[in-house]
């Protein structure tokens, strides 16, 4: 983060969670010096921890874990230990012998008093001995503002203590408590819980909303490190993870992750430098973007097919990934996507007819996604989307070929193969066409039926078997159809909640998300965490959270390849639905 985006020192007294993202080099140096002075007195600090210089920290023992902070005007004395992701907010008091687990939030003006005075009648109180039973707080605990916790109390894992409470007795795990004295109100888990220690509940939107908010804070605090991990300073390129090949997609994934979590471009280059490197990769004759050559420069595309199209799946996907990355960087392609512009309506229809809708519906849908996205990019540049009538031919073909019983294109190849190709192809097709151009999908109720039937297939969605493509390809159709119908909305929400709980558990500190088990045919980068898995799961988590109703707690909304809805086209769109669609079946 450069000094141009820094803020006054006092800002971090009240918003210490922003220090890792917004501090200047001078402010970072001052923080390092402060922590060194405290460390000379016996304190220890985990990575990305922060202590406000306006806090009163006079401890005999202080251990502050990774991503934990003490805000301005807090008062901390005695023997205080805190795990990872803990916060002592402004004007809070933590004194005596206090032990905090991981993920503890202490609200402003609250007091944890891990000591006590004697008050026998034979002498003044200030002359009497102090006692220290100590306070123990477990993992994943939220202590609201103006709470007082008295000496000797243990607050169990996953508890929530309401604002203004006075806690005089132990609280068992998962308790929601409030009042003076504090009394248990309910079990935070509601109708069930995830495995012990996860910190994520299924007890309705309140608990799950807190969980996604904690996840987002955690991801944001580590985002810069994730990008550095995949950056090769020697070549000036990104790879999916250390040791993997440098690719165009990795660079685009880095841009999207930075936009989601840092609200900026990756810090390795300026926004203009990122954009210029990506723009330079576009082949000026075809408008496609081939994979990098071994020397890091633009690659070579295969010869065109008889209809003028260039069959290169990687270059086709780059129409999406590079185009959206340039959007986020405030730029555009240098050239129109000429292979789209040159395809006449009759050749387009012939190509659509020839795609493998029954055997490889995902490949067919991916081709439609590329062509439609290329048309969209051409409109942005003020060029024709395609040859006259081609864009209208696309939507006309889709409108007349959709199956009214499934709401999809193609069919399941066999009962043993299930609906995987059918549903995954539907996502790619509608992402680039209906969603991108802001049109309603046909037969949304049938879409929901088809997608929920597929989402219950344990081959793809049992715990530990999910990969990013398969979960995304259910979550987005449920979200997209859900903009038009409430059909089976409770079931869609229940599916999303189950998947969201499991998705949040997949984050790996310092490395991000892995894609997951390889997809059909061995596709995908595998289980190891990297940029592709991180970019995809961040978008998936937003979609799942929005289906559940807690997406606002994430603090981000996807704007790249996996964004939920249409962007505003600068030129024109399809004026209307090409044919009337009867959704009443």
Q: What is the pLDDT of residue 1?
A: 38
CB 105 within 8 A of CB 88: no
The greatest distance separating any two alpha carbons of the chain, rounded to the nearest whole angstrom, comes to 103
- Tell me if 24 sits within 8 A of 3, measured CB to CB: yes
* Gap between the Cα atoms of 358 and 468, Å rounded: 23
Rounding to the nearest 10 degrees, give the CA dihedral for residues 86, 91, 93, 98.
0
CB 457 within 8 A of CB 419: yes
Place of tokens 């009648």: 121
Phi-psi region of 174 (alpha: psi -120 to 50; beta: other; left: phi over 0): left
Token pair listed for 304 = 């065109």
Beta partners for 177? 161, 184
Return the residue matching tokens 């991503």.
67
What does the pLDDT read at residue 526?
Answer: 84
Please spell the DSSP secondary structure of 510-563, one letter per residue.
TTB-B--S--GGG-S--SSB-HHHHHHHHHHHHHHHHHHT-GGGT-----STT-
Pick the closest to residue 213 from 267, 160, 149 (CA basis). Answer: 160
How large is the angle between the packed helices 248-257 and 531-548, nearest 10 degrees? 40
State the Rg of the chain over Cα: 27
Helix (H/G/I), strand (E/B), else coil: 378: helix
Which H or E run includes 446?
Answer: helix 444-455
Look at residues 336, 372, 83, 74 and name the one whose alpha carbon lies nearest to residue 199: 83
In the prediction, which pLDDT does 186 show?
84
301 vs 69: CA distance, rounded Å = 51
Sequence-separated (6 or more) residues with CB below 8 Å from residue 18: 7, 11, 12
Tell me how far apart the alpha carbons of residues 145 and 110 are, in angstroms, rounded to a whole number.
5
Strands 130-131 and 116-117: antiparallel
Task: State whether residue 82 is helix, strand or coil.
Answer: strand
pTM exceeds 0.85: no
* Matching residue, tokens 């499991």: 502
Give the bridge partners for 184, in sequence order.
177
Residue 502 and residue 466 in contact, taking contact as beta carbons nearer than 8 Å: yes
Packing angle, helices 390-401 and 345-354, rounded to 10:
30
pLDDT tens per residue across all 585 residues of the chain? 344 446 888 899 999 988 988 899 999 999 999 999 999 988 999 999 999 999 999 999 999 999 999 999 999 999 999 999 999 999 999 999 999 999 999 999 999 999 988 777 888 888 887 788 899 999 999 999 999 999 999 999 999 999 999 999 999 988 999 998 998 888 887 633 333 333 344 444 457 889 999 999 999 999 999 999 999 999 999 999 999 999 999 999 999 999 999 999 999 999 999 999 999 999 999 999 999 998 877 889 999 999 999 999 999 999 999 999 999 999 999 999 999 999 999 999 999 999 999 989 999 999 999 999 999 999 989 888 889 999 999 999 999 999 999 999 998 767 777 899 999 999 999 999 999 999 999 999 999 999 999 999 988 998 888 999 999 999 999 999 999 999 999 999 999 999 999 999 999 999 999 999 876 655 778 889 999 999 999 999 999 999 999 999 999 999 999 998 765 443 344 544 444 344 433
CA-wise closest residue to 143 among 184, 91, 106: 106
Predicted pLDDT of residue 90: 95
Using a 10 angstrom Cβ sphere, with 0-12 exposed, 13-18 middle and 19 or more buried, the burial of residue 196 is: exposed
CA atoms of 93 and 110, how far apart (whole Å): 6
Helix (H, G, I), strand (E, B) or coil at 154: strand
Predicted local distance difference test score (pLDDT) of residue 443: 97
Beta-bridged to residue 92, according to DSSP, are none
Q: Would residue 249 be called left, alpha or beta, if left means φ above 0 and alpha means ψ between -120 and 50 degrees?
A: alpha
Q: Residue 30 is encoded by which pair of tokens?
A: 């001052």
Compute CA 178 distance to the chain's CA centroid, rounded to the nearest angstrom: 32
CA 161 to chain centre: 28
Q: Are strands 104-106 and 154-155 parallel, antiparallel or unpaired?
A: unpaired
* Rounded CA separation 237/531 (Å): 13
Instruction: Spell out the long-range contacts of 571-574 with Cβ–Cβ below 8 A and sequence spacing 24 or more.
Output: 571/379, 571/380, 571/382, 572/379, 573/379, 573/437, 573/438, 574/391, 574/392, 574/395, 574/437, 574/439
The stretches of 195-244 forming alpha helices (DSSP H) are 204-229
Residue 76 tokens read as 């901390």
Q: How far is CA 285 from CA 223, 281, 297, 334, 371, in A?
A: 37, 12, 16, 11, 16
Judged by DSSP in three states, 557 sits in: coil
Determine the pLDDT at residue 192: 38
Q: What is the dihedral of CA 517, 260, 160, 506, to 10 degrees?
A: 10
Q: Which residues on adjacent β-strands are paired with residue 57?
A: 76
Residues with catalytic roles: 117
Asked if residues 485 and 445 have their Cβ atoms less than 8 Å apart, the reply is yes
With both helix axes pointing from N to C terminus, report the angle between 444-455 and 420-430 in degrees, rounded to the nearest 10: 130
**CA–CA gap between residue 265 and residue 341 (Å, rounded):** 31
């Amino acid at each position: 983060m450069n000094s141009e985006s820094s803020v006054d020192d006092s800002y971090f007294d009240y918003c210490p969670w922003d220090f890792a993202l917004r501090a200047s080099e001078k402010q970072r140096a001052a923080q390092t010096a402060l922590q060194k002075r405290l460390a000379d007195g016996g304190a220890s600090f985990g990575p990305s921890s922060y202590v406000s210089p306006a806090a009163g920290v006079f401890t005999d023992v202080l251990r502050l874990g990774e991503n934990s902070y003490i805000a301005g005007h807090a008062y901390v004395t005695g023997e205080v230990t805190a795990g990872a992701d803990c916060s002592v907010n402004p004007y809070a008091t933590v004194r005596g012998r206090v032990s905090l687990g991981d993920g503890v939030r202490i609200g402003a003006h609250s007091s944890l008093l891990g000591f006590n005075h004697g008050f026998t009648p034979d002498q003044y109180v200030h002359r009497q001995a102090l006692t220290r039973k100590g306070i123990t707080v477990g993992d994943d605990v939220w202590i609201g503002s103006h709470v007082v916790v008295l000496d000797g109390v243990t607050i169990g894992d996953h508890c929530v203590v309401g604002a203004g409470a006075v806690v005089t007795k132990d609280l068992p795990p998962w308790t929601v408590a409030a009042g003076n004295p504090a009394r248990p109100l309910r079990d935070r888990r509601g109708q069930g819980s995830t495995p012990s220690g996860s910190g994520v509940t299924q007890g309705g939107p309140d608990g799950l909303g807190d969980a996604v908010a904690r996840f987002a804070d955690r991801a944001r605090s580590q985002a810069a490190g994730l990008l550095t991990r995949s950056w090769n300073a020697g070549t000036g390129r990104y790879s999916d993870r250390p040791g993997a090949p440098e690719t165009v997609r990795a660079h685009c994934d880095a841009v999207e992750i930075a936009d989601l979590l840092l609200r900026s471009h990756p810090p390795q280059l300026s926004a203009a430098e990122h954009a210029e490197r990506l723009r330079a990769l576009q082949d000026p004759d075809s408008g496609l973007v081939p994979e990098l050559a071994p020397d890091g420069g633009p690659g070579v595309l295969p010869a065109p097919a008889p209809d003028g199209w260039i069959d290169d799946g990687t270059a086709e996907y780059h129409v999406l990934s590079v185009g959206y990355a340039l959007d986020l960087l405030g730029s555009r392609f240098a050239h129109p996507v000429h292979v789209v512009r040159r395809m006449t309506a009759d050749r387009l229809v012939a190509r659509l007819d020839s795609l493998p809708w029954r055997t490889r519906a995902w490949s067919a849908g991916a081709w439609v996604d590329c062509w439609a996205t290329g048309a969209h990019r051409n409109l942005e540049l003020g060029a024709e989307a395609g040859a006259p009538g081609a864009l209208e031919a696309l939507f006309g073909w889709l409108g007349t070929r959709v199956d009214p019983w499934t709401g999809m294109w193609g069919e399941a190849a066999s009962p043993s193969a299930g609906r995987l190709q059918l549903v995954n192809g539907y996502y790619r097709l509608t992402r680039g066409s209906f969603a991108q151009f802001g049109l309603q999908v046909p037969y949304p109720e049938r879409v929901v039926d088809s997608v929920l039937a597929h989402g219950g297939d344990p081959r793809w969605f049992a715990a530990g078997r999910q990969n990013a493509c398969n979960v995304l390809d259910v979550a987005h159709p449920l979200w997209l159809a859900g903009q038009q119908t409430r059909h089976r909305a409770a079931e869609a929400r229940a599916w999303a909640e189950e998947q969201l709980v499991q998705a949040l558990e997949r984050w790996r500190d310092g490395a991000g998300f892995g894609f997951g088990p390889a997809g059909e045919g061995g596709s995908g980068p595998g289980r190891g965490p990297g940029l592709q898995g991180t970019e995809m799961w961040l978008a998936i988590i937003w979609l799942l959270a929005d289906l559940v109703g807690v997406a606002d707690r994430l603090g981000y909304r996807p704007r790249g390849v996996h964004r939920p809805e249409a962007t505003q086209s600068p030129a024109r769109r399809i004026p209307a639905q090409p044919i009337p669609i009867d959704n009443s079946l």
